[in-house]
Amino acid sequence: MRFRALSAIACAGLAAGCSGPGAPSFFDGGSAPDTTRAPSPFVPQAIEGVIDSMVGALAARKLPLSSKPPIAVLLKDLTGFWAPVVIGSNRMGIRLACPSLVQAPLIPNTGNVSTAQAAILQNVYIEKYLETAVYRGMALAAQANDDDSVAYLNRFVEQRGPVVTIDSDSPASKRSYVIATANYQAGYTAGAMLGQALQPGDTIFVFGSTDVAWASGIERAQGAEDGAKSVGLIIAPRIDPKWAPENDLPALRAAITDPQLNVKGMVCVYSNANLCAQAVEELLGVPGVIKIVGFDMTADTKSYFDKGYFLGVAVQRQYYMGQLGMLVPYAMDVLGPAVTGQLLQPILTGSDFIDTGIDIITTDNYADYMSFLSVLGINT
């Protein structure tokens, strides 16, 4: 199978010159103001405050272009979930007026490529960064945490500069921060939302993992149960997704129709939340009888959202993952790790987790949310 590179260069009509994959773009025009923001309830004030403080501290250094550290952002893909990450990264590169590059291996048929194979392709890019010795910082959406992948990441830290991970982490590596959604907090928020539509004592269940090997999946499911408990709801046994509709739908139907459970709501904490709505539609035929909070506005989930089957759908803030992915390693190089860490404090969970949070989308705020995405330049 033949592979080639996809690059999203931060040109936007401003770069003095853009070259092919692997070469950074340049914008020598000072610290360009971020004019994309507009008043919206979806603007994450804490994140924007940190970004503005950090950009201000960087601007005060008044670095000439020749002294600005080039930053690479290496993703799993440039489309779908990752498209807003690309936009956020490129826009921050322009705002910082720094040499930058956003890339991902192009895999023509992802169904024929294992995670291990995708990791090998990603490591080829890191090897190239090491050979060219251009980039002094990197944001990485890690494909895997095998020994080779961790070793490549660590070599970049040792030879070139700081690394942060985006969405998928490499906890055994020398990366400085992970920029992602804090899964427990996200699940907790989603679970507590059911309290807006149900009464204390009502029973709900979580469609979420019981696989202890999937730590982030467990954290989100546990958070959802704890959030629901916090508003007085009773938690039925968790239903573990098998990621196969032929197995998941019967399990969901059995729980929904169990008279002893008398389920009034559910939290479906992954991108297969559409299955929860599908099961309700097949059994009851009308929305609203069972309250559902889902995650990730996939096309399948959106179709049931439009029919009214979801009380709300939690969505991640990939745009801000991209913004911070470009900004943080740049700041660590220019300002130093200690100052960067101090500026990040308002959005840190623990010592190294930058929580980009979630938004809960409802039928009432959907139009406002789409307007906000449009302002950011995100087409959905």
Residues 6+ apart with CB under 8 A from 229: 191, 235
Please report, for the chain, the start and end positions of each structural domain, with discontinuous segments joined by +: 4-181+318-357, 183-316
- Integer Cα distance of 156 and 138 in angstroms: 8
For residue 37, what pLDDT is reported?
Answer: 56
pLDDT at 36 over 70: no
Superfamily of domain 4-181+318-357: Response regulator (3.40.50.2300)
Please write the tens of the pLDDT for every residue from 236-293.
999 999 999 999 999 999 999 999 999 999 999 999 999 999 999 999 999 999 999 9
Please write the tens of the pLDDT for every residue from 102-159.
999 988 776 788 889 999 999 999 999 999 999 999 999 999 999 999 999 999 999 9
Same fold, 4-181+318-357 and 183-316: yes
Tokens of 26: 């340049």
Please write the tens of the pLDDT for every residue from 170-202.
999 999 999 999 999 999 999 999 999 999 999
- The b/e string for 57-84 (b: 16+ C-beta within 10 A; e otherwise) is bbeeeebeeeebbbbbbbbbbbeebbbb
> Which fold does the domain 183-316 belong to in CATH?
Rossmann fold (3.40.50)
Please write the tens of the pLDDT for every residue from 60-118.
999 999 999 999 999 999 988 999 999 999 999 999 999 999 999 988 776 788 889 99
Contact status, residue 249 vs residue 279, Cβ threshold 8 Å: yes
